[in-house]
Amino acid sequence: MRKNGFTLIETLVAVTLLSVAIVAPVSLAARSLQSAYYARDQITASYLAQEAIESVRAVRDRNIMVSRQGAPIDILTGIPVGQDFLIDTRTSRMWTTCPTVPLKTDGSFYGHGADPCSMEALWEPTRFLRVVRVDFVPGTSDEVTLSVTISWTSGVFAARSFSISENMYRWAE
């Protein structure tokens, strides 16, 4: 009399095929999610860097307007030259005292609050660090290089970085 059923080998083959069929899509989904998080952080870093450049440029342009209205000042007044600094783009405030403090958020905006070196209750630290630097182009007194570097940690070990730079000119006396 013959009994119908599965042999041990048939069962092992079926379990192996089922495991491959389940593991492949799950690992693909995990990889896709990791790529989406990286893209989100890369876009955020890009916007944060461009925001800092626009804010420093606004300080330079405001100094030009003040000078044009009869109070002559250097157009780089208020911009630390030759050292790393932080900038809160909501207020264009700049600090050189603690340039390695990460950006904070109040839930809507990125910034540093009233003081980047303090831990305010309303501002939570983020994973993004923004360092700004302005240096004179060698051999000139009317051109500076403005560079912004955004660093962050993505996942457990992956340290990421994004940098942009721009030259600014003394286009007005």
24-43 average pLDDT score: 84
Indicate whether 2 pLDDT > 70: no
| Res 73: pLDDT | 87
- Report d(CA 80, CA 67) in Å as an integer: 19
26-54 average pLDDT score: 88
Task: State the average pLDDT for the chain.
Answer: 85
Listing DSSP states for the chain in one string gives: -PPP---HHHHHHHHHHHHHHHHHHHHHHHHHHHHHHHHHHHHHHHHHHHHHHHHHHHHHHHHHHHHHTT----TTTTS--SSEEEEETTTTEEE-S-TTPPPEE-SS-EE-TT-TTS--TT-EE-S-EEEEEEEEPTT-SSEEEEEEEEEEEETTTEEEEEEEEEEEE----
Per-residue pLDDT band for 156 (boundaries 50, 70, 90) equals low
142-162 average pLDDT score: 88
114 vs 50, more confident = 50
| Res 172: pLDDT | 66
Indicate whether 159 pLDDT > 80: yes
148-166 average pLDDT score: 88
| Res 170: pLDDT | 77
120 vs 61, more confident = 61
Indicate the range of 29-38, 102-111, 113-122 predicted with least confidence.
Answer: 113-122
| Res 128: pLDDT | 92
Per-residue pLDDT band for 50 (boundaries 50, 70, 90) equals very high
Left, alpha or beta for 136 (phi > 0: left; psi -120 to 50: alpha)?
Answer: beta
